[in-house]
């Protein structure tokens, strides 16, 4: 995914060695067929089921990137010497992270690696996003996010997002309100990690648009596990979803699946 100011996000789909410019297929019929094969995205071995969005079961149980602390960074146990892959943890977790506010289906808080902006926001289908706090590690971002979750959700209503049922929000005003409300908790984190480890940002909000011809009024979701072949006219792309006139499909859910695409 990529984005330029005032232009819709552009999506590409990997098909073998080829990269298909999905935006070019808007308004055209598409057919997706699951062959029944699943391969682990890490080791490549065949798998009867995909775990954790693309892994075989042994990798899912072994890899640090599949541990519970990836979804809940505040539970990081690296300092206890129990990280599944310490070298991977040092590369992935001990790098700058950003705590942000976004609007995909309403106000939400989230975290991402600093080098994943704006990809993370596009992945969520956000129409607005604002970085609010920079930290030095993933665990620190988790502690800050937990603090903010006392006041604002960390979830996206994907159905509302796909229907574009999203009112504009003054993210800067919300940031200032939350920083004021949560000042005592932030001060505790400063005392724990140091003033320079958790830094409040003053950056402008970003806006995003998506390649959509028509938003659905009723969201019907396709499931390749139940219906291996789906088809329809591509009406839009937003976040992780292809929006067909026959229903929507979350491509991330089928990571590792072997899919035949016909257009």
The pLDDT > 90 percentage for the chain reads 92
Burial of 144: CB neighbours in 10 Å, binned 0-12, 13-18, 19+: buried
pLDDT at 15: 74
Q: How confident is the model at residue 134 (pLDDT cuts 50, 70, 90)?
A: very high
Sign of the alpha-carbon dihedral angle for 118, 163, 160, 54? negative
What mean pLDDT, rounded, does the chain reach?
A: 94
User: Per-residue pLDDT tens for 196-239?
Assistant: 999 999 999 999 999 999 999 999 999 999 999 999 999 999 99
Q: How far apart are the C-alpha atoms of 45 and 185, rounded to whole Å? A: 46
pLDDT at 191: 96
Tell whether the model's pLDDT for residue 7 goes beyond 90. Answer: no
Q: How far apart are the C-alpha atoms of 65 and 41, rounded to whole Å? A: 12
pLDDT at 6: 60
Cα dist from 93 to 78, 103, 123, 154, 160, whole Å: 9, 25, 20, 20, 32
pLDDT at 1: 47
pTM, entire model? 0.92
Tell whether the model's pLDDT for residue 161 goes beyond 60. Answer: yes
CA 193 to mean position of chain CA atoms: 27
Q: Where are the beta strands (DSSP E) in the chain?
A: 12-15, 18-21, 29-38, 97-103, 107-113, 128-135, 198-200, 206-207, 229-238, 241-244, 247-250, 257-262
Cα dist from 205 to 48, 91, 110, 132, 198, whole Å: 43, 29, 15, 10, 20
Q: Which residues have CB under 8 Å from 114's CB, separation 6+? A: 95, 96, 97, 98, 134
Reduced to 3 DSSP states, what percent helix, strand and coil does the chain have, rounded to the nearest 5?
30, 30, 40
What average pLDDT does this structure show over 54-65? 97
Q: Which residues have CB under 8 Å from 152's CB, separation 6+? A: 101, 107, 108, 109, 174, 178
Q: Which residue has the tokens 């808080």?
A: 109
pLDDT at 101: 98
pLDDT at 5: 47
Q: How confident is the model at residue 71 (pLDDT cuts 50, 70, 90)?
A: very high
pLDDT at 16: 73
User: Per-residue pLDDT tens for 11-54?
Assistant: 998 877 788 899 999 999 999 999 999 999 999 999 999 999 89
User: 49 near 254, Cβ under 8 Å?
Assistant: no
Q: How confident is the model at residue 3 (pLDDT cuts 50, 70, 90)?
A: very low
H, E, C per residue of 169-220:
CCHHHHHHHHHHHCHHHHHHHHHHHCHHHEEECCCCCEECECCECCCCCCCC
Tokens standing for residue 105: 């289906």
């Amino acid at each position: 995914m990529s984005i330029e100011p005032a232009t819709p996000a552009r999506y590409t789909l990997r098909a073998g060695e080829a990269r298909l410019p999905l935006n070019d297929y808007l308004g055209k019929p598409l057919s997706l067929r699951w062959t029944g094969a699943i391969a682990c995205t890490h080791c490549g071995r065949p798998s009867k089921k995909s775990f954790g969005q693309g892994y075989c079961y042994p990798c899912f149980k072994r890899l640090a990137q599949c541990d519970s602390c990836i979804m809940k960074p505040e539970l990081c146990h690296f300092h206890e010497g129990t990280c599944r892959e310490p070298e991977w943890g040092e590369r992935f977790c001990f790098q700058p992270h950003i705590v942000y506010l976004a609007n995909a289906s309403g106000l939400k808080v989230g975290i991402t690696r600093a080098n994943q902006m704006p990809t993370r926001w596009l992945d969520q289908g956000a129409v607005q996003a604002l970085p609010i706090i920079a930290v030095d590690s993933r665990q620190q971002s988790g502690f800050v996010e937990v603090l903010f979750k006392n006041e604002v959700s960390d979830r996206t209503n994907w159905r509302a997002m796909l229907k574009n049922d999203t009112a504009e929000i003054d993210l800067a005003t919300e940031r200032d309100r939350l920083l004021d409300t949560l000042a005592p908790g932030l001060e505790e984190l400063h005392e724990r990690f140091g003033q320079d480890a958790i830094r409040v940002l003053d950056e402008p909000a970003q806006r995003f648009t998506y390649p959509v011809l028509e938003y659905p009024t009723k969201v019907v979701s396709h499931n390749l596990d139940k219906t291996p072949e789906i088809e329809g006219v591509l009406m839009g792309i937003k976040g992780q979803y292809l929006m067909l006139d026959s229903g929507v499909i979350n491509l991330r859910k089928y990571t590792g699946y072997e899919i035949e695409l016909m257009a």
